Amino acid sequence: MVIKCQHEGCNRTTVVECIKPELAEYPGDLHALEEEARRKLLAQYVEYYCPEHCQAHGYCWNCGFHQADPANFSVEGLCPNCEGKMELP
Ligand SMILES: [Zn+2]
Ligand SMILES: [Zn+2]
């Protein structure tokens, strides 16, 4: 199955798995679920966007995690966490 960017009008198939912020509010214990049940549940909390459109939807294109504050993104569209990792020592 080919996955396309979910941004309207975008047909790119190179996509990032983006984790919806709602997953953090999931009331149960993910690790207590069986593999199959966990995969089904996670599928409801994932969106797919190409690296170009991740930021427009609030996601870091590198790690796929949602950023509460869009001002957190670097010019490259990275979240503070990923930007820190990519800096050369
Ligand atoms: Zn796109
Ligand atoms: Zn990131």
> Mind listing the pLDDT tens digit for each residue in 16-74?
999 999 998 888 888 899 999 999 999 999 999 999 999 999 999 999 999 989 899 99
Phi, psi of 28 (to 5 degrees): -90, -175
Domain count, the chain: 1
In a domain, 44, yes or no: yes
> Residue 9 C-alpha to ligand 1 middle, in angstroms?
8
> Residue 35 C-alpha to ligand 1 middle, in angstroms?
30
> Residue 11 C-alpha to ligand 1 middle, in angstroms?
7
- Which ligand is nearest the CA of 52, by number? 1
- The answer to whether the CB of 82 falls within 8 A of the CB of 62 is yes
Which pLDDT does position 75 carry in this prediction? 92
- The answer to whether the CB of 17 falls within 8 A of the CB of 5 is no
Which pLDDT does position 83 carry in this prediction? 93
In a domain, 10, yes or no: no
Residue 67: give the domain boundaries: 16-86
In a domain, 4, yes or no: no
- Quick one: how far is CA 35 from the chain centroid? 21
In a domain, 9, yes or no: no
